[in-house]
């Protein structure tokens, strides 16, 4: 495990905002820009850069910073859990790596000032406004860069494998897998609220031994247009099958198994909500890089354990597993397609 103070971000490094989620913000680390009229570097934080140069020691890395959320877990604990629970399950090249890095004094405050400015100018996403970085978190996390920055000949695909096996508490004869049943239920709720419904792939198709089923799933992966190539990459992919194997071993989910607050249940749920990042050179002979991310251990606190239980109750009691209710968006669940026959064309 990385020693907490073995890495330290230089005080003069610039940060370029890349993206943010509910609990973290991702930045690129670039060298300080020198003004042509001055020998002094520009301010240490920038929202954009025309010609950013990544310092050699941070090439291939991004910086992840933690937001000040109520259920926030310290980066030291996140790194410790990653080292103990996640690393042993996969090869290093299969993971979006992460290591602690100590942050220079005042950096977070300057980042938050930038975020407030971005809100004022309308550049920050509406759904992310009002929540800023934690000023009590002394560390950031260096993570593997799975973007195409500096490599324009690369294309990216991103997907969530989710539940690659049916929930053990699903009723006998279920016509929908856990993911498809949950999507139907959420689409039903969205339609009642006048919100756009979502269509996506069935995770069971991702691990099918029939290429045409994998292709059916690939056609529903958003943001990547070469469906046939993506399907060839995913078909019987060793990392994807490894996720399925670990889900099979850690199968005591749903209403069964250990307490929702246990480490085993947290790991089982984490493996059902990770993200697969796929970096593909446009030249099909080039090396394809596949890594798994979003592998912070899920916490059952803050009402999450009850949420998991409530979801499973609804899926069973309201008939979503049985496909009892119709939706305007068609469902392509593998459990509704005759196995051994080509899936319906799209």
Domains of the chain: 14-144 (3.30.200.110), 154-336 (no CATH)
Q: Which pLDDT score is estimated for 32? A: 64
- Running DSSP on this structure, what letter comes out for residue 270? H
What pLDDT shows up at residue 271? 96
Residue 223 confidence (pLDDT): 86
* Weakly modelled stretches of the chain, pLDDT under 70: 1-6, 32-52, 254, 256-261, 300-303, 326-330, 337-346
Residue with tokens 């496909």: 323
Per the structure block, which two tokens stand in for 183?
Answer: 């999507």
Cα 274 to its chain centre, rounded Å, is 5
d(CA 81, CA 98) in angstroms, rounded, equals 11
What is the predicted pLDDT for the residue at 36?
Answer: 39
User: Token pair of 277, please?
Assistant: 């990042």
Q: What is the pLDDT of residue 340?
A: 38
Residue 303 confidence (pLDDT): 67
pLDDT recorded at residue 305: 74
Sign, CA dihedral 155-203-298-316, equals: positive
Determine the Cα–Cα distance for residues 310 and 187; give it in Å rounded to an integer: 17
The sign of the torsion formed by the CA atoms of 99, 101, 140, 57 equals negative
- Structure tokens belonging to residue 46: 């920038």
Give the dihedral sign, CA 114/59/289/276: negative
- What digits encode the pLDDT tens for the residues 60-101? 999 999 999 987 789 999 999 999 999 999 999 999 999 999
Give the global pTM. Answer: 0.87
Phi, psi for residue 342 in degrees, rounded to 5: -60, 140
Q: Identify the pLDDT of residue 279.
A: 95
Task: Kindly give the residue spans of alpha helices, DSSP state H, lying in 151-288.
Answer: 178-192, 203-206, 211-218, 227-234, 238-249, 263-270
Q: Work out whether the CA dihedral 87, 88, 92, 96 comes out positive or negative.
A: negative
- In this predicted structure, what is the pLDDT of residue 274? 96
Which helix (H) or strand (E) segment is 107 a member of? helix 107-120
Please write the tens of the pLDDT for every residue from 179-225: 999 999 999 999 899 998 889 999 999 999 999 999 999 999 998 89
């Amino acid at each position: 495990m990385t020693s907490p103070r073995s890495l330290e971000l230089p005080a003069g490094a610039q940060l370029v905002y890349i993206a943010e989620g509910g609990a973290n913000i991702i930045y690129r680390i670039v060298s300080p820009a020198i003004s042509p009229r001055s020998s002094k570097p520009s301010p240490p934080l920038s929202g954009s850069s025309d010609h950013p140069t990544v310092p050699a020691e941070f090439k291939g890395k991004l910086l992840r910073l933690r937001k000040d959320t109520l259920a926030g877990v310290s980066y030291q604990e996140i790194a410790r859990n990653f080292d103990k629970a996640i690393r042993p399950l996969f090869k290093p090249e299969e993971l979006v790596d992460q290591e602690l890095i100590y942050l220079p004094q005042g950096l977070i405050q300057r980042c938050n000032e930038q975020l407030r400015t971005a809100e004022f100018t309308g550049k920050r996403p509406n759904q992310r406004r009002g929540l800023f970085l934690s000023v009590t978190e002394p560390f950031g996390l260096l993570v593997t860069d799975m973007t195409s920055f500096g490599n324009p000949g690369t294309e990216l695909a991103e997907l969530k494998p989710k539940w690659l096996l049916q929930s053990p508490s699903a009723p006998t004869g279920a016509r929908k897998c856990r993911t498809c049943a949950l999507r139907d239920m959420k689409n039903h709720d969205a339609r009642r609220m006048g919100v756009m419904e979502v269509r996506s792939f069935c995770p069971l198709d991702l691990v099918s031994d029939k290429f045409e089923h994998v292709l059916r799933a690939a056609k529903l992966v958003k943001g990547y247009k070469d469906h046939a190539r993506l399907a060839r990459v995913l078909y019987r992919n060793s990392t994807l099958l490894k996720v399925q194997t670990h889900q099979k071993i850690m199968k005591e989910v749903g209403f069964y198994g250990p307490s929702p607050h246990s480490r085993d249940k947290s790991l089982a749920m984490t493996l059902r909500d990770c993200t697969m990042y796929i970096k593909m050179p446009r030249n099909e002979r080039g090396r394809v890089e596949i890594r798994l991310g979003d592998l912070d251990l899920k916490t059952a606190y803050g009402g999450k354990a009850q949420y998991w239980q409530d979801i499973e109750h609804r899926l069973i009691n309201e008939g979503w597993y049985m496909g009892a209710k119709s939706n305007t968006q068609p469902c392509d669940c593998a459990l509704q397609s005759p196995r051994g026959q080509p899936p319906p064309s799209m």
